[in-house]
């Protein structure tokens, strides 16, 4: 009642808070707050204040997964919703994964892993983790036949095999 002001033409007035009536909850809700003002002669009046609740403040993402560099797309870690730390001024926050969006390049490829945090009022904030996929390990050859010198014979040899850390079937 300290913020409620009232006056009377005959003297002192007394303000009391009668109570609050919640109408709705969360976003777009309102509170009807009722005050009673009485003067020294017992004359009274009641005033109702309407307080509208409207959350326009975006939530805050305090932390998320660090940028990451990997050699192969097969090393891409799973989505980790628990790595996103978000808070809101009005209540709980829901965190979800939107998409992994590659940039279209191959060496290196950058994937933008997008997370979004939303509050119950529809305010949202996005967090993007940058993941760089860059295969820097060259393939290896094995089963190579030794050097030979041939005279007029048809060159018969066993084809070498190849292996690569990112390609299960590299071309030889």
Per-residue pLDDT of the chain (172 residues), as tens digits, is 557 778 888 888 889 999 999 887 667 788 899 999 999 889 999 999 988 888 888 899 999 999 999 999 999 999 999 999 999 988 889 999 999 999 999 889 999 999 999 998 889 999 999 999 999 988 887 777 777 777 776 666 677 778 888 777 777 7
Q: Which of 32, 36, 30 is nearest to 6 (CA)?
A: 36
Q: Which of 79, 54, 52, 60 is nearest to 118 (CA)?
A: 60
């Amino acid at each position: 009642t300290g913020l409620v002001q009232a006056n009377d033409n005959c003297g002192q007035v007394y303000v009391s808070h009668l109570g609050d009536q919640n109408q709705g909850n969360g976003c777009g809700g309102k509170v009807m707050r009722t005050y009673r003002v009485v003067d020294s002669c017992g004359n009274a009046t009641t005033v109702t204040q309407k307080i509208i609740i409207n959350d326009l403040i975006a939530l805050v993402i305090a932390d998320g997964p660090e940028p990451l560099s990997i050699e192969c797309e097969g090393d891409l870690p799973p989505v980790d919703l628990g790595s996103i730390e978000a808070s809101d001024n009005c209540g709980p926050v829901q965190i979800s994964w939107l998409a992994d969006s590659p940039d279209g390049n191959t060496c290196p490829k950058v994937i933008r892993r997008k997370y979004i945090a939303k509050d119950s009022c529809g305010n949202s904030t996005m967090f993007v983790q940058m993941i760089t996929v860059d295969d820097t390990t060259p393939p290896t050859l094995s089963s190579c036949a030794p050097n030979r010198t041939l005279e007029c014979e048809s060159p018969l040899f066993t084809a070498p095999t190849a292996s690569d850390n990112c390609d299960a079937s590299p071309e030889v």
